[in-house]
Chain A
């Protein structure tokens, strides 16, 4: 049971390049999330998927797109990377439907630098 896995662990991009961050969970969770973590800003939600087939914007969605490929996988795409997207990106998952017990589990993160 690997929990939540993310690839790659590190990435350096040039401004304007595109890339996709991959996330997978093996806990049969319904909901998945993408966050970014920046110094002094805390964790901010980019997009989330309440269940397979649905996606919704979070607090900071501009410049990103997501795909919920199946129940296990949720990818985050940067179409044209900008230096402001330099950050650490975390994927998380949780059981949805029992809101009082919606415990989140996080992946190890992807450290992205955009030059």
Chain B
């Protein structure tokens, strides 16, 4: 069964810093890996989805990479802003199931 881990659980950075959020998974035979953002009291918003044949995806200031051999994905946020403050979750589908397993998220605070 796929296990997805996100470390650290919480992160606080000053505005303007470039930062990396980590996601690790145990089953390298993944179909895809998806990154989400969740604001307090809200639902999950899809940010990026990387298919197993891809190495990275980019959207604006966000770049997600996938390294199946090491069981890792990273979400890079460039020039962080206070509006980036949220919880970021990753989820991976693997092992014959298209249903993803979720990590518990990294809570990010970007302070002015």
Interface residues, chain A, CB within 8 Å of chain B? 4, 31, 33, 40-43, 45, 48, 58, 90, 92, 94, 96, 99-109
Task: List B residues 66-112 near A (Cβ within 8 Å).
Answer: 89, 91, 93, 98-100, 102-105
CA distance A33 to B89 in the complex (A): 17
A-B contact count (CB 8 A): 57
Neighbouring A residues of B36 by C-beta, 8 Å: 106
A–B pairs, 28, beta carbons within 8 Å = A31-B98, A33-B99, A40-B104, A41-B104, A42-B103, A42-B105, A43-B91, A90-B43, A90-B44, A92-B44, A94-B98, A96-B98, A100-B32, A100-B52, A101-B51, A102-B32, A102-B93, A102-B98, A102-B100, A103-B32, A104-B34, A104-B46, A104-B100, A105-B46, A106-B43, A106-B44, A106-B46, A107-B43
Cα distance A106–B43 in the bound complex, in angstroms? 6
A48 to B53, CA, bound (A): 26
Chain B residues within 8 Å of A, Cβ to Cβ: 31-32, 34, 36, 42-46, 49, 51-53, 89, 91, 93, 98-100, 102-105
**How distant is B32 from chain A, measured CB to nearest CB, in Å?**
5
Tell me which residues across on chain B come within 8 A of A45, comparing CB atoms. Answer: 99
The residue on B at minimum CB distance from A4 is: B43
* B102 in contact with A100 (CB, 8 Å): no
How far is B91's CA from A105's CA once the two chains are assembled, in angstroms? 12
Closest to B42 in A: A108
User: Which A residues touch B93, using CB under 8 A?
Assistant: 99, 102
Distance in Å from the Cβ of A74 to the closest Cβ of chain B?
Answer: 14
CB pair B102–A99 under 8 Å, yes or no, is no
Closest B residue to A44 by beta carbon equals: B102
Give CA–CA (A96, B49) in the complex, Å: 15
Residue among B49, B52, B105 making CB contact with A103, cutoff 8 Å: B49
B46 to chain A, nearest CB (A): 6
Q: Which residues on the A side are within 8 Å of B42 (C-beta)?
A: 108-109
Shortest A17–chain B CB gap in Å is: 24
Residues of B within 8 A of A94 (CB): 98
Residues of B within 8 A of A103 (CB): 32, 34, 46, 49
